[in-house]
Amino acid sequence: MKNELNIVGIQADLAWEYPTENLTFFEEEIKILSKNSDLVVLPELFTTGFSMNAEKIAEKMNGKTVSWMQKMAKENSLAICGSLVIEENKKYYNRLIFVHPSGRIETYNKRHSFTLAGEDKIYTSGKESLVINYKGWKICPLICYDLRFPVWARNTHNYDLLIYIANWPVTRINAWDTLLKARAIENMSYVIGVNRTGKDANNYEYSGNSLIVDFFGKETSNLKKYEIGIIRGTLIKTDQNSIRKKLGFLEDKDTFEIKI
């Protein structure tokens, strides 16, 4: 078990439906990371932006981007995660791919489709949550609109870190900031939120506001609005565990059942 987990989020102005340019950018950013980085988190749909042109941009699990992620993980001895459009059995998914340093893959399909943008008409929603075991840490990865639904994120699995990746527009960025902290507080968990910047082909503007918060909802690292670059944080498991034990808030949570 690793007591300290060094995480990195990369905030980028994504090139619209242009995977080659986006992968080149992220590869350059990853190459300059320190050797003690454990986990790199990329934004939602990091190769294309939040596009509904699924038929045009979809890849297979054995396609270019997943292979690139495995290459980056192995070469840099770290884990990497982000989402892209995956076509499988004639269905399209907004799928988060988590690649371990060995190249082993775990996946999560976005549960809550963003109906305001018609995502529910294009992409198939996921039905299962995922908790990843990595270096002794339990990690729960979620995607953008999932952030608005606390039941789906409720810490019933004793996870240590919540990941949210997003294309969250500047018009609702206050909700992004507030809800990330709320999820950390109610679940007594570290949280990292990685968002994009810039403007997409639909003229939606994104300010980034990527941040890392601790189990009290306190910001420990953040990026300025519209800034392109890296956010870093060192998470300490013993600090989180001692506070959980001392306060005992998670022991008082309600039981519930989610119906899919």
CB neighbour class for 242 (10 Å; exposed up to 12, middle 13-18, buried from 19): exposed
227 in active site: no
Tokens of 85: 């459009």
Q: Of 29, 44, 59, 106, which one is the catalytic site residue?
A: 44
44 in active site: yes
Q: How far apart are CA 107 and CA 218, in angstroms?
A: 29
Q: Could you tell me where the beta strands, DSSP code E, fall in the chain?
A: 4-11, 39-41, 79-88, 91-99, 105-109, 132-134, 137-143, 161-165, 190-194, 197-199, 205-207, 211-213, 219-222, 229-236
Q: How far apart are CA 107 and CA 104, in angstroms?
A: 10
Q: Which residues contact 62 (CB under 8 A, 6 or more apart)?
A: none
Q: Which residues contact 181 (CB under 8 A, 6 or more apart)?
A: 191, 213, 217, 219
Q: Which residues contact 73 (CB under 8 A, 6 or more apart)?
A: 79, 80, 99, 100, 101, 102, 103
Q: Of 29, 59, 81, 110, which one is the catalytic site residue?
A: 110
CB neighbour class for 87 (10 Å; exposed up to 12, middle 13-18, buried from 19): middle
Q: Which residues contact 186 (CB under 8 A, 6 or more apart)?
A: 150, 154
Q: Of 81, 140, 144, 237, which one is the catalytic site residue?
A: 144
81 in active site: no
Q: How far apart are CA 161 and CA 21, in angstroms?
A: 30
Q: Which residues are catalytic?
A: 44, 110, 144
